[in-house]
Copies of this chain bind each other. A is one copy, B any other.
Amino acid sequence: MKLATLPDGSRDGRLHVVSRDLTRAAPAEAATTMLKALERWDEIVSGLAAQYDTVNAGAGEPFDAMAAMAPLPRAWQWMDASAYMSHSKLMDAAFGFEEKKHPDFPLMYQGMSNQFYGSAADMPMTSEDDGIDFEAEFGVITSEVPFGATPEVAAKCIRLVVQINDWSLRRLAPVEMKTGFGWIRAKPACAMAPVAVTPDELGSNWRDCRVDMTLNVFRNGERFGAASGYEMNYGFHELVAHTAYSRILPAGTVIGGGTVSNANFREVGSSCIAERRGIEMIDHGEARTHFMRFGESVKMEVFGADGAPVFGTLNQKVVKA
């Protein structure tokens, strides 16, 4: 099943059921917003699935992915991981950190959750000097997760998979990291690709609670990276369970896997600029690729077996705030 949110003047927008090929959409009958759908998921999922069949059969109206808001325009919690070992290693190189010993638990931070930009939204940034960077990621959205949930329980609470662009300010990030308090200024709002997808819709590409698909990244139209989502050192069920140790996760919690990155990064490229700069530091002793400037764009897409983007296309331009 595929779901999107179209604007209706409200902050949460209007939930729509979208056809598999992203050509048609109809207002969801079972819930007006994504948050409300997630709060009552078990009750309404069969109704949503039935409507998905009708939309795939031609019901609804033409779907304008460019007009869509984020599938979940605001959430009660957003916690993002750094679950790809090669990403951590290259970030240490990029920032000139000593390579760190990985802790024996998932690396995760709490980010701002009240605003996810739509896939075609311009991204307002304060200064080109801040080291403006994108991060191509996969994430999941949960229904309510009970306090102390195990990975097995957490797996059953994963309702949707989303494709995320986690904007980051690299000049500020290492400074904030050194405090131990995590990021505030270095992590502006994220954006999401137009369509959220149920795990079953991904078929065998949803494997071990990971997305076994290639996330294609293009900077100003040129290929930048094409890493697979599979190489996480923890699956999403383990990330969810990690965060639920001392809290309830409300319906609509978004959990990110972190910048998609593979051990064969020289072949597949990178999903953020800082990683490529890390590789350049290793290879040349200096970073050569500049961070994003105003007017530059980044596009992210995951192609299905039919060659069409599974989550729709995320394509954002950086602008002066």
Residue positions of A touching B, CB distance < 8 A? 74, 76-77, 79, 82, 103, 107-115, 124-126, 130, 147-148, 169, 172, 175, 177-189, 242-243, 245-248, 250, 321
Measured CA separation A247–B124 after assembly (Å):
9
Measured CA separation A61–B181 after assembly (Å):
44
A189 with B114, Cβ < 8 A, contacts A148-B126, A184-B108 known: no
Given A110-B110, A124-B147, A148-B321; 7 other pairs, CB 8 A cutoff: A108-B184, A115-B248, A126-B246, A172-B246, A182-B183, A185-B242, A188-B246
Listed by A's residue number, 7 A-B pairs whose Cβ atoms lie within 8 Å are A77-B114, A110-B112, A113-B113, A115-B247, A115-B250, A124-B147, A126-B148
Q: Are A110 and B250 in contact (CB under 8 A)?
A: no
Measured CA separation A148–B110 after assembly (Å):
21
User: With a CB–CB cut-off of 8 A, which chain B residues contact A110?
Assistant: 109-112, 182-184
Measured CA separation A177–B179 after assembly (Å):
8
Measured CA separation A172–B147 after assembly (Å):
17
Measured CA separation A189–B321 after assembly (Å):
33
User: What's the number of copies of this chain in the assembled complex?
Assistant: 2
Interface of A is mostly: loop
User: With a CB–CB cut-off of 8 A, which chain B residues contact A115?
Assistant: 247-248, 250
Give the shortest distance, in Å, between A291 (CB) and chain B (any CB). 14
Q: Are A246 and B109 in contact (CB under 8 A)?
A: no
A246 with B185, Cβ < 8 A, contacts A76-B114, A124-B147, A321-B148 known: yes
Residue of B nearest to A104 (CB): B175
Q: Are B76 and A113 in contact (CB under 8 A)?
A: yes
Q: Are B181 and A108 in contact (CB under 8 A)?
A: yes
Give the shortest distance, in Å, between A86 (CB) and chain B (any CB). 17
User: With a CB–CB cut-off of 8 A, which chain B residues contact A148?
Assistant: 126, 321
